[in-house]
């Protein structure tokens, strides 16, 4: 029940905005949202549906059966044929892992990497969250890297957000900023595929499969502010969610704010 209410909230940003102080919650909802409730369908209705390749649906962080996706670290992944990746965007997901080897949470599909096209990846490296942006993925050139200063492979659920905006990328763990890095090229890969749970290297080398659980993947077509990132990483109590749904449904017409990361 709680997972269903949370899904509704993610798709009703005006309600979220009304619930929190001004500037706290995302005004614009995600362009793609995957609750992984027994499938990899895009709950926004925008059609960015994924294909599950070998993963197992298990209980999520609220205890709901078949509410999260488990990856075995051997051959499980999810393939998204067409996911928006403009120059300004935000990816966010919940994860749980004890993996010590390199494991990919999500990445651009390298099958389409040619010339000066760009790609990005979020991985677990030595137990830490690791975000890399590649200017020339075919050559393996890393031009921007952020690594969390602490391990996050403790077997607990954590929220990870990585945001990109006009030459800067940011990494947040559990709503707290842990690093940022600038880059000097224009990153844009609109309509490119994405892989969740592994990296598809050319020739099948170093797939770096993820071992653990993933849930509630959100993709925004703008760079969320620190306050917005803190909001989506919060876990409301069931009673608060129920009262919110009863009291605030039908509130519309909230004016849009400037999409600026501060």
The confidence band for 81, taking pLDDT boundaries of 50, 70 and 90, is confident
Spatial contact of 126 and 184, defined as CB atoms under 8 Å apart: no
Considering only 131-145, 230-244, 245-259, which range has the smallest mean pLDDT?
Answer: 245-259
**Range of 77-91, 98-112, 141-155, 201-215 with top mean pLDDT:** 141-155
Looking at domain 32-233, its CATH architecture is Sandwich (2.60)
Q: What percent of the chain is modeled with pLDDT above 70?
A: 64
Give, for 88, the enclosing helix (H) or strand (E): none
pLDDT at residue 142 above 80?
no
Predicted pLDDT of residue 1 = 57
Which ranges in the chain belong to alpha helices (H)? 2-10, 13-19, 226-233, 238-248
The domain ranges of the chain are 32-233
Higher pLDDT: 141 or 247? It is: 141
Q: So what's the pLDDT on residue 4?
A: 56
Question: Region 60-64: what's the mean pLDDT?
Answer: 95
Alpha-carbon gap, residue 162 to 155, rounded angstroms: 21
Q: Give the pLDDT mean for 190-194.
A: 67
Greatest mean pLDDT among 203-207, 234-238, 240-244 = 203-207
pLDDT in tens, 86-131: 678 899 999 999 999 999 999 875 444 444 456 778 999 999 999 9
* CA angle, 115 then 210 then 163, to 5°: 60
Q: Which residues fall within 8 angstroms of residue 139, CB to CB, at 6 or more apart?
A: none
Q: Are 163 and 223 contacting, i.e. CB atoms less than 8 angstroms apart?
A: yes
Rounded average pLDDT over 227-241: 71
Provide the pLDDT for residue 170. 95
pLDDT at 229 over 80: yes
- Helix/strand number for the chain, H first, E second: 4, 15
What b/e readout covers 13-49, taking b as 16+ CB neighbours within 10 angstroms?
A: bbbbbbbbeeeebbbbbbbbbbbbbebbbbbbeeebe
pLDDT higher than 90, residue 151: yes
Question: Which of 26-35, 83-92, 116-125, 243-252 bottoms out in mean pLDDT, i.e. has the lowest?
Answer: 243-252
């Amino acid at each position: 029940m709680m997972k269903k209410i949370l899904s509704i909230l993610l798709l009703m940003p005006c309600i979220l905005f009304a619930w929190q102080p001004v500037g706290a919650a995302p005004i614009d909802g995600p362009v793609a949202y995957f609750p992984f409730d027994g499938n990899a369908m895009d709950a926004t209705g925008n059609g960015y549906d994924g294909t599950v390749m070998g993963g197992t649906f298990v209980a999520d962080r609220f205890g709901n059966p078949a509410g999260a996706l488990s990856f075995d670290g051997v051959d499980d992944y999810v393939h998204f044929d067409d996911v928006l990746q403009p120059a300004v965007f935000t990816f966010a997901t919940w994860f749980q892992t004890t993996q010590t080897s390199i494991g990919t949470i999500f990445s651009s599909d390298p099958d389409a990497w040619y010339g000066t096209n760009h790609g990005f990846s979020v991985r677990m490296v030595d137990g830490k969250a690791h975000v890399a942006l590649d200017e020339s993925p075919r050559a393996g050139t890393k031009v921007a890297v952020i690594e969390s200063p602490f391990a996050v492979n403790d077997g607990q659920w954590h929220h990870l957000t990585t945001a990109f905006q006009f030459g800067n990328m940011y990494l947040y763990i559990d709503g707290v900023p842990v690093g940022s890095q600038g880059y000097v090229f224009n990153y844009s890969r609109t309509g490119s595929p994405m892989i969740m749970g592994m990296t598809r290297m050319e020739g099948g080398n170093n797939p770096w499969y993820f071992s653990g659980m993933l849930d509630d993947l959100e993709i925004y077509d703008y760079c969320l502010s620190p306050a917005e990132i803190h909001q989506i990483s919060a876990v409301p109590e069931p009673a608060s969610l129920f009262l919110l749904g009863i009291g605030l449904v039908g509130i519309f017409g909230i004016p849009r704010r400037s999409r600026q990361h501060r």
